[in-house]
Amino acid sequence: MKIENTKAQMRKGVLEYCILSVLKDNDAYVAEILDTLKDAKLLVVEGTIYPLLTRLKNAGLLNYRWEESTSGPPRKYYGLTETGKLFLNELTTTWDELQNAVNIVTSTKNTKDE
């Protein structure tokens, strides 16, 4: 089993949550979303993010608007819908519970090994 495959699956599992979290306070266009994820060391390529944004939009969690840009073509800004905000709140609760459970299991395991 290759560690890179497992690491990639772990990152994929939290990507939706991270994208919704990026959009929690402000609308953003794809380059801004990618930069935020990159700054957090979550390397995501455009070929991955566009289908995910479309899926989130089709699920009613995101909307978008076009805005003129002074440095090129118009930009598509994504933002959370009301449903998206509620969904993000649920994911945050689930993430907190999951993180706590994983911390308990991994720290208990390490303590037992000593």
DSSP letter string over the chain? --HHHHHHHHHHHHHHHHHHHHTSSS-EEHHHHHHHHHHTT----HHHHHHHHHHHHHTTSEEEEEEEETTEEEEEEEEE-HHHHHHHHHHHHHHHHHHHHHHHHHHHHHHHH-
pLDDT > 90 in the chain, percent: 72
Residue 11 confidence (pLDDT): 83
Amino acid at position 37, single letter: L
Q: Which two tokens stand for residue 92?
A: 């945050």
What was the pLDDT predicted at 12? 82
Domains of the chain and any CATH numbers: 3-96 (1.10.10.10)
Better-scored residue on pLDDT, 99 or 13:
99
**Over the stretch 29-72, which tens digit does the pLDDT of each residue have?**
999 999 999 999 988 888 999 999 999 999 999 999 999 989 88
pLDDT at 31: 94
Residue of 12 and 26 predicted with greater confidence:
26
Pick the range with the lowest mean pLDDT from 2-16, 69-83, 99-113: 99-113
What is the per-residue pLDDT for 62?
A: 98
Whole-number pLDDT of residue 15: 94
pLDDT, position 49? 94
